[in-house]
Amino acid sequence: MDVAISTNVWMLHMATSKIPPPPAATCLISSFSREKPSLVSKASCLSTAAAGRSMKTEPSPNQYSAISSSDQNLSRRSGNYQPTTWDFEYIQSIHNDYAGDKYMKHFNELKEEMKKIIMAEGLEELEKLELIDNLQRLGVSYHFRDEIMQILSSINQHSTSADSLYATALKFRLLREHVFHISQDIFNNFKDENDNLKQSICNDTKGLLQLYEASFLATETETTLNYATRFTTTHLKNYVDNHCGDEENLMVALVQHALELPRHWMMPRLETEWYLSIYERMSSSNPLLLELAKLDFNIVQAAHQKDLRILSRWWKSTYLAEKLSFSRDRVVEAFFWTVGLLFEPQYSYCRRMLTKVIVFIVVLDDIYDVFGTLDELEIFTDAVERWDIKAMEQLPDYMKICYLALFNSTNEMAYDILKEKGINVLPYFTRQWADLCKAYLQEARWYYKGYKPTLEEYIDNAWISIATPLILVHAFFFVTNPITKEALESLNKYPDIIRRCAIINRFLDDLGTSSEELKRGDVSKSIQCFMNEKGVSEEEAKEGIRILIKETWELMNKDQMEELLFSETFIGIALNFSRASHCMYQHGDGHGIQNSHIINRISKLLFEPITIL
């Protein structure tokens, strides 16, 4: 059921109760910058009033009458979006030899052999760490979680000081990634009498690269690691400059790749696709691990293609692409986001439901940003807040089909969870859609008034309008079992990890899309707000935003270490969400414009199997 109203879903809707609003404002970022104080004030707090807050209405949505379908002469903006790169026929025609059980027997045999290697006695500590690192980077560590945790727990308890910078940094990064408490003091042996990193390590490129990667797991108070980021970046850039054109040098390739985006900020599945070709060229590569990783990549890709075929049929059945031709048709890109959040085959249902959620977000974004008049948007927002089928009667025709599809799909998701977990999550879902629409409406009001918000005003609204909280709240209910009362209470107040993920995603979106959106006449984004408030150039403002992104990552790193109410899976989804954002907006607007970089990434990840000789 996607458009027709299910009796069971309707009964669930009628049982919906209200969720109490969360507390008011909370400071997300305590300081703009420690690195470039000239760009920013020394103590500026971006307050974020919790969603569910009341917004000024002028006038009440109830004062507007429905827009007649005959009113065709309204001047409407256009996003000038390109059609989808991957249409229905293409997706349905995909054939993958790795689907089904054909290769599973051999895969399971390889997995058992790999398990023996991992748990073999006699391996040195560094050999174990390097093996775990390769398992993660090649995308197969999820098959060996227990074994990896057993090894890392032993290393954490019994490890002695490592001699090399490389081994020390690798150990620090892996232990911290797996939430073992390890101090930055482990790097004290590599500091001089002035508490700076020794110049003698500058020629240790392998060690510098590991220290660079480790430094991105810093929290906001870890000055050694923050300094290490700047120190290693400078020397690694010098290394690349001195080896320009040396295409056969694997170390050059590894350093260039890391400088583009550190591992901690990289979408895991994209890292796997890239690293497979690098690992194959390494003289130290393990043939069994390489074959296992290639086979796993193709089997997982086949599972993703199955998800995508199901979603493509669902999308076609909604008729939204046909009826709302002004909106972006981005089912594949939406699914790509979900692969970034959690790629493992067992999360098929979560990926498919989140893809539907993201598709609706895209449609609503285009209605509010591009096509809808302010009168229409007021009515639609009121209808979503009411979450009542009767509210649809006042909507213009093009909004009715969108509203009904959203209404039914959301109710059906809630019904699925009620059946499986015995909890009515519809109030949580509907509140998220209402909050998103209110945030979109605020931006529309700013646009029609020609109002330029302050940076604080912008962020106060934009961390909701980026839709990160909506997606993460849905994801929480899809992957969490059991669902505790304490987790629900925290979720209802928007825990820090959701807020910070949203801030990072908003800033990354603005860096990648603001120029195109401003051309359409959209409201000022964080970059323009920053420029106006600080009196700086666009490039200086962008650098200020990048600093804020890194600082917010430091806070989220701390959240990962301290968060006790949410599962490891959900926290991983939140971290991966920001990683996916880095990759989606790394080269511009990868979602709306479909640039060649993102098309290439999606094609390799979803449609091109790895060659296995």
CA angle, 222 as apex, 221 and 228 as ends, to 5°?
Answer: 140
What's the whole-number average pLDDT of the chain?
A: 87
Question: What's CA 113's distance to the chain center, in Å?
Answer: 34
Which pLDDT score, from 0 to 100, does residue 524 have? 76
pLDDT category of residue 42 using cuts at 50, 70 and 90: very low
d(CA 311, CA 351): 10
Angle, nearest 10°, between helix axes 165-177 and 125-137? 50
Which pLDDT score, from 0 to 100, does residue 586 have? 85
Torsion sign across C-alpha atoms 31, 32, 33, 39 = negative
- For residue 256, pLDDT beyond 80: yes
Q: What is the DSSP string of 482-505?
A: SPPHHHHHHHHT--HHHHHHHHHH
Contacts of 270 (CB under 8 A, 6+ apart): 340, 583, 601, 605
pLDDT: which is higher, 43 or 144: 144
Which pLDDT score, from 0 to 100, does residue 518 have? 53
Amino acid at 563: E
d(CA 585, CA 542): 14
Question: What's CA 215's distance to the chain center, in Å?
Answer: 21
* 320, 363 Cβ separation under 8 angstroms: yes
d(CA 229, CA 377): 45
Which pLDDT score, from 0 to 100, does residue 437 have? 99
Contacts of 158 (CB under 8 A, 6+ apart): none
Please name each of the domains of the chain with its CATH number.
101-285 (1.50.10.130), 452-588 (1.10.600.10)
- Three-state SS sequence of 150-198: HHHHHHHHHCCCCCCHHHHHHHHHHHHHCCCCCCHHHHHHHECCCCCEC
Which pLDDT score, from 0 to 100, does residue 306 have? 97
Look-up of token digits 């646009």: 447
* CA–CA distances in Å: residue 538 to residues 260, 514, 515, 532, 535: 21, 11, 11, 10, 10
- For residue 469, pLDDT beyond 50: yes
* 255, 209 Cβ separation under 8 angstroms: yes
Which pLDDT score, from 0 to 100, does residue 53 have? 36
d(CA 613, CA 610): 10
d(CA 78, CA 84): 16
pLDDT: which is higher, 21 or 566: 566
* CA–CA distances in Å: residue 341 to residues 74, 344, 500, 509, 515: 40, 10, 16, 17, 27
Which pLDDT score, from 0 to 100, does residue 77 have? 61
Which pLDDT score, from 0 to 100, does residue 101 have? 87
Length of the chain: 613
Q: Which stretch of 26-30, 251-255, 538-542 has the lowest confidence by average pLDDT?
A: 26-30
pLDDT category of residue 246 using cuts at 50, 70 and 90: confident
Token readout for 449 is: 């008034």
Which pLDDT score, from 0 to 100, does residue 515 have? 57
Q: What is the DSSP letter of 197?
A: B
- Does this model's pTM top 0.85? yes
* CA–CA distances in Å: residue 454 to residues 305, 451, 458: 44, 10, 6
- For residue 110, pLDDT beyond 90: yes
d(CA 376, CA 390): 16
Which pLDDT score, from 0 to 100, does residue 342 have? 98
pLDDT: which is higher, 2 or 100: 100
Rg of the chain over all Cα atoms, to the nearest angstrom: 25
Q: How many CB atoms lie within 10 A of CB 314?
A: 16
Which pLDDT score, from 0 to 100, does residue 76 have? 63
276, HSE (Cβ side, Cα atoms, 13 Å): 23
pLDDT: which is higher, 46 or 340: 340
Q: What is the DSSP letter of 98?
A: T
Q: Residue 422's closest CA among 6, 13, 12, 14?
A: 12
Looking at residues 46-67, what average pLDDT do you find?
33
Look-up of token digits 């880095």: 582
Q: Residue 328's closest CA among 594, 35, 599, 554?
A: 594
Amino acid at 454: T
CA angle, 324 as apex, 321 and 327 as ends, to 5°?
Answer: 80
pLDDT: which is higher, 11 or 408: 408
**Alpha helical stretches, state H, 319-425:** 320-323, 331-341, 348-366, 374-386, 397-421
Which pLDDT score, from 0 to 100, does residue 608 have? 96
* 498, 506 Cβ separation under 8 angstroms: no
pLDDT digits (tens, 9 = 90+) for 148-187: 999 999 999 987 766 899 999 999 999 999 999 999 999 9
Which pLDDT score, from 0 to 100, does residue 238 have? 97
- For residue 485, pLDDT beyond 50: yes
